[in-house]
Amino acid sequence: MKKVKNFVICFSALIISALQLPAQEHKHGGRKPFDREAFTAKRNVYITEQIGLTATEASVFIPLDNELMQKKFEVGRECHRLERELKKKDGKTEEEYKKLLKCREDVKAKRDKLDKEYLEKFKKVLSVEQIVKYQSADRAFFDEFVRDRKK
C-alpha cells in the first residue's frame, strides 16, 4: 500500500513538473500568470501527504475536493469581475460599492453552503481526524501559496 501511495505522490509531482510553464512576467506587478492546473496538482499532493491518505482514499477524496474548489471558484467569478471593473473605474458610486458588498455577502453564504454540503460527502470517505487535518492543510497550503506569490 505504501508503494502505491509513493507512486501516486511521485506521479503527481511529475505532472506538476510537466505543467510548469517557463517563468513569464505578468504584465501587472511582475508576477507569473496563475497556472490553475499546476496549483491544483501541487495542492493535491500536499493535501494527500498532510492527511496521510491511502491511494484508495485519495482516488475518492481528491476528485471531491477538486470539485468543491471548482464550484467555489465559479460562485465567486461574478464578484471578481465586478471588483475588477470597479477598481478600473473613475468616479465610483456608493451604489456600485453596495452592489459589490452584496455580491461578496452572497458568495460567502454560497461557499459556506458548499462547505457544509461537501463536509457530509467527505465524512463518507475520511475519518473526522482526517477531515480536521485536511482543513488545516488546506489553510496552510493557501497561506504558503500566497507567501510564495508575493516573492
Q: What is the pLDDT of residue 151?
A: 76
Cβ pair 98, 84 in contact under 8 A: no
Condensed to tens digits (0 to 9), the pLDDT of residues 29-71 reads 566 777 889 999 999 999 999 999 999 999 999 999 999 999 9
Condensed to tens digits (0 to 9), the pLDDT of residues 62-88 reads 999 999 999 999 999 999 999 999 999
128 has pLDDT over 50 = yes
Q: What is the pLDDT of residue 23?
A: 42
In degrees and rounded to multiples of 5, residue 10 shows phi and psi of -65, -40
Share of the chain above pLDDT 90, in %: 68
Q: What is the pTM of this model?
A: 0.74
Distance from C-alpha of 62 to C-alpha of 82, rounded to nearest angstrom: 31
To the nearest whole number, what is the mean pLDDT of the chain?
Answer: 84
Positions of E strands within 75-123? none
126 has pLDDT over 90 = yes
Distance from C-alpha of 97 to C-alpha of 144, rounded to nearest angstrom: 31
Phi-psi region of 23 (alpha: psi -120 to 50; beta: other; left: phi over 0): beta
